[in-house]
Amino acid sequence: MEIRQGLADLNGTRLYYEVAGEGHPLVLVHGFTLDTRMWDPQFELFAQRHRTIRYDVRGHGKSADPVADQAYSHSDDLLTLLRYLDVEHAHILGLSLGAMIASDLVLTYPSVVDALILVDTSGLGGFPFPSDVAETLTRINVTAKEKGVDAARQIWMSMGWFSPALEKPDVRNAALQIVGDYRGWHWLNRNPVVRPNPPAVGRLDSVVAPTLVIVGDRDMPYNLEIAETLEKGIPNAKKAVITGSGHMSNMEEPLAFNEVVLRFLSEVSA
């Protein structure tokens, strides 16, 4: 399968992207400290049915880091990338941070999103982290500045988001490699990212795109609660629970994940 790769200069930054396949566009948005490689179990399979796009979010993978004190928006980055690729509207699939970006996009630019798939969502606007999670995230930032990114990475990988994935050798190896390549910019700097206001959690009833909420049954309680909030708050949203999976459900249980996603997209197309 032919995979087109490129670097797009847009919004004062540079984003790495890959495109494969034909058909209705489908965009894959990765999680925090990850990159396009997390979608290896899906990319070529989904490209058999869709023009599939994956990219490295600003500060990750082969994309440029943010610049301190220069405000930016993930949803604006994604919108501009789609325009760069001559895509007017698409199905948007995001995991964790990627789901946050997808939810911000649909609320800010609703006409761009034909179908929305939110997977193991973290960082939903207006939905605070539990105190223990927030404290650990703060400790990671402090550790990165005082002891270095590698020390911070060890704490990050010990959090519950990664525990189920690390139990599976193949997934463990992939996750360690991808997270091991994360440069740690967000741990070392104040992130000037701009989020929609009012926050997403109070505006879910305005989402009109067909929506699928996916969550692993072994994900953290925080993420399970967000999944329930999304299911109840977004009109006619459907929820699928991936049995035996934690936070990285597309990597941990790819067969079940792929089946759920492709079935939903087929229903939407029909």
Over residues 4-41, the pLDDT tens digits come to 999 999 999 999 999 999 999 999 999 999 999 999 99
**CA pair distance 72, 2, nearest whole angstrom:** 32
The three-class DSSP label of residue 39 is: helix
Tokens of 159: 């959090």
Do residues 186 and 212 make contact, with C-beta atoms less than 8 angstroms apart? Answer: no
Q: What is the pTM assigned to this prediction?
A: 0.98
Model confidence pLDDT, tens digit, residues 196-227: 999 999 999 999 999 999 999 999 999 999 99
User: Could you name the CATH architecture of 3-128+192-269?
Assistant: 3-Layer(aba) Sandwich (3.40)
Do residues 22 and 51 make contact, with C-beta atoms less than 8 angstroms apart? Answer: yes
Model confidence pLDDT, tens digit, residues 55-64: 999 999 999 9
**CA pair distance 129, 55, nearest whole angstrom:** 26
Q: 247: how many CB neighbours lie within 10 A of its CB?
A: 26
